[in-house]
Structure 1
Amino acid sequence: MTLQAWWLFLVTVSLLSATPGPNMMHALTRSVQVGFRRSTFAMAGCISALLLALVLSVIGIGAVLVAEPRLFSAIRYLGAAYLIYLGIKAWRARDGVGLAREETPSRQESGLSLYRTGFLVGISNPKLLLFAAAFFPQFIDHHRPVLPQFAILVVTYLCSDCFWMSLYGLGGRSLSRFLERASVRRAFNRLTGILFVAFGIAILRARA
Structure 2
Amino acid sequence: MGFDVWSLYLVSIFLVIMIPGPLSLFMVSNSVNYGIFRSYPAFLGGTAASSLYLAVSATGLGVIITSSDYLFMMLKIIGAVYLIYLGFITIKVSIKKITGSQNSLESSGSPKFNSLFKKSFLLGASNPKDIIFFMAFLPQFISSEKPLADQIFIIVMTWILVDLFCKLLYGLLAKSIKPMLNTQKSKSIFDRLTGALYIIAGIAAVSII
What TM-score does the superposition give when structure 1 sets the normalisation length? 0.88
The one-letter amino acid of 2:155's match is: L
1:163 maps onto 2:177 in alignment: no
Structure 1 stretches of 5 or more lacking a match?
Answer: none
Q: What is the root-mean-square deviation in Å for CA atoms of aligned residues?
A: 2.1
Give the counterpart of 1:175 among 174, 177, 180. Answer: 177
| Shift in Å, 1:161 | 1.0
Q: Deviations over 1:8-37 (max 9, x none)?
A: 221111111111112211111111112211
* 1:57–1:132 CA contact under 8 A, matched in 2: yes
| Shift in Å, 1:95 | 5.6
Q: Which residue pairs with 2:95 in the alignment?
A: 94
* 1:95–1:182 CA contact under 8 A, matched in 2: no
Q: Which residue pairs with 1:74 in the alignment?
A: 74
Question: Structure 2 CA distance, aligned partners of 1:83 and 1:116?
Answer: 13
The one-letter amino acid of 1:12's match is: S
- Other structure's SS at 1:121 match: helix
Q: Which residue pairs with 2:134 in the alignment?
A: 132
Q: Deviations over 1:23-80 (max 9, x none)?
A: 2111111111122111001111111112221122222221012210110000111011
Q: How many residues align?
A: 204
Q: Which residue pairs with 1:44 in the alignment?
A: 44
Question: Structure 1 CA distance, aligned partners of 2:144 and 2:187?
Answer: 52
Q: Which residue pairs with 2:143 in the alignment?
A: 141
Q: Deviations over 1:123-148 (max 9, x none)?
A: 11111122112211111111121221
| Shift in Å, 1:185 | 2.1
Identity %: 35
* 1:65–1:71 CA contact under 8 A, matched in 2: yes
Q: Which residue pairs with 1:31 in the alignment?
A: 31
| Shift in Å, 1:160 | 1.4
Question: Structure 2 CA distance, aligned partners of 1:51 and 1:123?
Answer: 10
| Shift in Å, 1:96 | 5.6
Q: Which residue pairs with 1:200 in the alignment?
A: 202
Structure 2 stretches of 5 or more lacking a match?
Answer: none
* 2:80–2:126 CA contact under 8 A, matched in 1: yes
1:9 maps onto 2:9 in alignment: yes
* 2:45–2:117 CA contact under 8 A, matched in 1: yes
Q: Which residue pairs with 1:117 in the alignment?
A: 119
Query: Would the alpha carbon gap of residues 184 and 158 (structure 1) be closer, same or farther in structure 2, given more than 3 Å must change?
Result: same
Question: Structure 2 CA distance, aligned partners of 1:110 and 1:190?
Answer: 22
